[in-house]
Amino acid sequence: MCALIFMSDRVKLSNEKEINMELLTFWMLVGFLFAAYSVIANDSVQTLGTWIASNNEKFNWKVMWGAASAVLLWALWYGWYSYGGDISYGRLNKIPFQEIQWYHACAPGVLLLLTRVGVPVSTSFLVLSAFASTFVLEKMLMKSMMGYAVAAVAAYAIWMIVSRLLDEAKPVKEQHKNYWRIGQWITTGFLWWTWLSHDMANIAVFLPREIPVDLMILISVVFVGGLGWMFSEGGGKIQQIVLEKHNTRYVRSATIIDAVYWLILYFFKELNDIPMSTTWVFVGLLCGRELAMATVTGKEKFKSVFPLIGKDFLKMMVGLAASLAIVLSIHYVIAPAEQKVEEPIPIENSE
């Protein structure tokens, strides 16, 4: 009788484990799909937005989708091969893999909603905040604030010079158009790869740190499909932020923006392995550029520039507030017992 009861308990325990594993797999899948869509629909416009805006009339969206997908697949598989199955390029070294719970999957779900209404949310904050400790989140915030400031100051200085040397609104000479077009495709390719090698962590956080080949193939299909949907929509809701800015539809302006953004992003990517908000860097870049062009143009321009910059900054703060709300809720309300603080190991003196 005791043996039957013991076996019955083991069967119940086994069934409970199977249910838990199914739930964990389910939330991992939901979180991955939400994060993949949000990253492609939200953050990818930072790198591809000006390229799309200045090439929409010249090339069919399927041609641009194919070019962007080639770089995407290279970045994805190169990272997987170079980092032993880890597609995050080592960005998750300080955020170890965790069992995916419902509240982890909710983070990209919130990002999905904000993306659909055109809010330029920091995916790194909103997604990684659900996994990171408050210490890591603080480092991410400091690095992102530094990125915003550096991008704004650098863009202001660069466009103060550029605006005096050439008129970006003036049509490019016919014999120079191909050179600018080739230059833009090259700079966008480098920028797209650099951005992917950084922001891939926002999706990889839902996946095992060593991904098998069959799962990599599935991930590749999901990414390329999502990218194609984004191109078919002309960039999605966030693309409007790019189109609102001065001359972003012109190939010459787009090339300069992409080149400056790539150099700034590459610098911070190589600085350390702490993730940061590339959204903040991008918005800071556009902010500095608009202020520089307004300075050169005259005081009248400032009347239209400051409301535009203020609106973008306010949207960034909305995203940051949502990120902080998520991480504080997880750490202190939803699962406070799971957030362990490592105590320093005391050193015993041997006398």
- In this predicted structure, the answer to whether residue 190 has a pLDDT above a threshold of 60 is yes
Question: At which residue do the structure tokens 């911070």 appear?
Answer: 268
- How many other C-beta atoms are found inside a 10 Å radius of the C-beta of residue 301? 16
For 246, the token pair is 């001065």
Q: pLDDT-based confidence at 66, cuts 50/70/90?
A: very high
pLDDT value at residue 162: 82
> What are the pLDDT digits (tens) for 278-292?
888 888 888 888 888
The arithmetic mean of pLDDT across residues 91-105, rounded, is 83
Per-residue pLDDT for 69 more than 90? yes
Which band of pLDDT confidence, cut at 50, 70 and 90, is reported for residue 74?
A: very high
Q: In this structure, what DSSP letter does residue 56 have?
A: T
Q: Domain-by-domain residue ranges, the chain? A: 26-334
3-state secondary structure 117-145: CCCCCCHHHHHHCCCCCHHHHHHHHHHHH
**Considering only CA atoms, which of 214, 221, 293, 206 is closest in space to residue 253?**
293
DSSP labels, 279-341: HHHHHHHHHHHHHHHHHHH-HHHHHHHHHHHHHHHHHHHHHHHHHHHHHHHIIIIISGGG-PP
| Across 149-163, 178-192, 309-323, least confident range | 309-323
pTM, two decimals, is 0.77
When pLDDT is cut at 50, 70 and 90, the band that residue 344 belongs to is very low
pLDDT at 106 over 90: no
H or E element at residue 226: helix 213-232
- Let me know if 194 is exposed, middle or buried by CB neighbors in 10 A (0-12, 13-18, 19+): buried
Instruction: Tell me which residue of 279, 189, 271, 212 sits closest to 242, measured CA to CA.
Output: 279
Residue 146: what pLDDT?
A: 92
pLDDT at 70 > cutoff 90: yes
pLDDT at 50: 73
Which residue has better confidence, 349 or 140?
Answer: 140
CA-nearest of 194, 89, 91 to 140 is 91
Cβ pair 264, 150 in contact under 8 A: yes
Token readout for 322 is: 């949502």
